[in-house]
Structure 1
Amino acid sequence: MTTTPDSPFEVVAVSAGVSSPSTTRMLADRIGVATREQLAALLPGAEVRVRVVELRELASDIAIASTGALKSERLNEAIATVARADALIAVTPVFKASYTGLFKSFFDVLDDDVLLSMPVVLAATAGTPRHALVPDSDMRPLFAYLRAMAVPTSVFAATEDWADPAGLGRRIKRAATELAALTAARVRQEVLGRQGSTYQRTFDSHGSQDSLADIDFDTDLMRLATGGVADKSPRVSDGR
């Protein structure tokens, strides 16, 4: 991802809500609005774009891609939207005491490097406060594996929380403030710009933009991988 100091900030919310209307989408929208407000306060005049990826509309595409089939054009567009983001808001309803299969399957079909160093707010909705720890107990390990930068404050909204807009609003503002601070500093671009190649986990990595000219194909491993044979000539030590 190439950005300049004057580039617009791209904030993307991924909503795994399956109903319409959906409290999951409502929560994603509220966090998105709060993040835009906090970025505007930090950087007056900055352009902030907030986009929402509705996984409900991609359910069949995600299921097909999960079987190893090719990704559809609209799924690739959604993935590209996430990959270009400066910040992510990930929101899921809680089913069976965890994030939904739809939510997990979307992140399963992403390349491992797509979310490298990306600031992210973790949020969940449920019908009961018994699931309040899901963002931290279930979602945080997933995004740690993906090496995203989850902000310290997660957001959980049970049905009863919508009747207390002030309390929910305080949590949303706190999480949005943390996300905006990381985004305004362009932390992701800074980290990838300085350490991108060391983050590479897959051959077609989003963490590194190395060209083929930068890859050493003249090694035993690469020769074997391309159907050749390992170099059996004797090695000469330089004494070190």
Structure 2
Amino acid sequence: MRETSETSENVAAYIRASTDKQNSGHQRDDINDWADQNNIDPTGINWYVDLSQSGSDPGREQFIELTDDIDAGEYDRIIVWEISRLARLGSIYQEFFETASDAGTIINITNDWTDTVKPDGTGKLIADISAAVAEEERRKLISRVNSGVKRAKKEGKWLGEVPVGFERNAEGYLRPTLTPDEGDDGYLEIRAALEAIENGSSYRQEAKGLNTTRQTLSRIHQDEDRRQWYLDATAKTDDRIAEALDTIPE
């Protein structure tokens, strides 16, 4: 929700964080500091905040509301921490700045190559270059991450959530947990529970002696492939699981 207060100049600030784990407090602090240093009362800023939102998404609720309010002539000035907070795609970014220019709204950036983009276009070229560089760096980062994921999969390493009863070793390979830590369930415990379920016991009954929930036991038991990981120590559709199961001592 937008937080509002009054000031002599109509000023808004926009904050965006890509994930809920990212701390957006530093953006707010930088914007408040910049405003204070430039004779703008921080208590008079209207805040628009999108959390857990990608900069490539044009449908951000607060971003859309801010753009509409600029278009309606509500603001003389918008403050952001970086241009990348506004958008990760050039088309979204350009449309935002065109709206601000048409409305006569100044854009201030507290942490970028330029700190001011005026409606007459002053500062826009540098802002464009900064945004283009940031977009290219992001493309390269995504490419490196994707290459790393493909390489890890090719090498048989396990990515993502580790199945119950397994662990990921220091090299990134999946292994059955044969000596679980306190609070964890090992591979053999899960196998014993599934064997009991096969013999007529209930999910609820078997979950009583485990940290694993009855819902998880049910999902494993009703999935033919996953069920065989434990009952037969085989994996027909995932070579990484098959290789892990081969490490179980006979």
Structure 2 length-normalised TM: 0.32
Normalized per residue, which structure has more strand? 1
Q: Which has the higher Rg, Structure 1 or Structure 2?
A: 2
Structure 1 length-normalised TM: 0.33
